[in-house]
Amino acid sequence: MNEIIVNATINGRREQLRVDASVTLLDALRDRLGLTGTKKGCDQGACGACTVHLDGRRVVSCLTLAVQADGREVLTVEGLGGGHPVQEAFVRHDAFQCGYCTPGQVLSAVALLDEGRAGTDEEIREFMSGNLCRCGAYPNIVAAIREVAGR
């Protein structure tokens, strides 16, 4: 096994992980740190359920190696804590059904808002297109993001 030490700040806390060079960030977060809010969906980077922030930019953690987080900051849905405006808007607008995609949707929405890309519903849909919802809660997700963008 080719183990590498990864030092990263995860949800504001310094972590040191010893991982095989081929371990994904998703598996390191879930299996080594117990941060199970990040979901394993397609494991191919197509569904967005595993979206996290890496140095403030959204990435699909199933296609990101854990070693790529070395010396960087990772934010998962647990790092938002309770009561983030996007989380509250998702609840108010019933922007989830089964909830499986919700952590990735929320983190993508936070990034979209931080990037200033929530000017129109079309823009929101475009920049959220990497996050799939099998339940079809898209209109409610757009409404939740629009509400937070309007503040």
Q: Among positive and negative, which fits the CA dihedral 83, 89, 92, 94?
A: negative
Specify the amino acid at residue 45.
G
Domain pair 3-79 / 82-149, same fold: no
> pLDDT by residue (tens digit) across 27-80?
999 999 999 999 999 999 999 999 999 999 999 999 999 999 999 999 999 999
Alpha carbon of 80 to those of 20, 23, 114: distances in Å?
28, 24, 14
> pLDDT by residue (tens digit) across 68-110?
999 999 999 999 998 999 999 999 999 999 999 999 999 999 9
The CATH code of domain 82-149 reads 1.10.150.120
Q: May I ask the CATH architecture of the domain 3-79? A: Roll (3.10)
pLDDT at residue 82, as a whole number: 85
The domain segmentation of the chain, as residue ranges, is 3-79, 82-149
Q: Does this model's pTM top 0.75?
A: yes
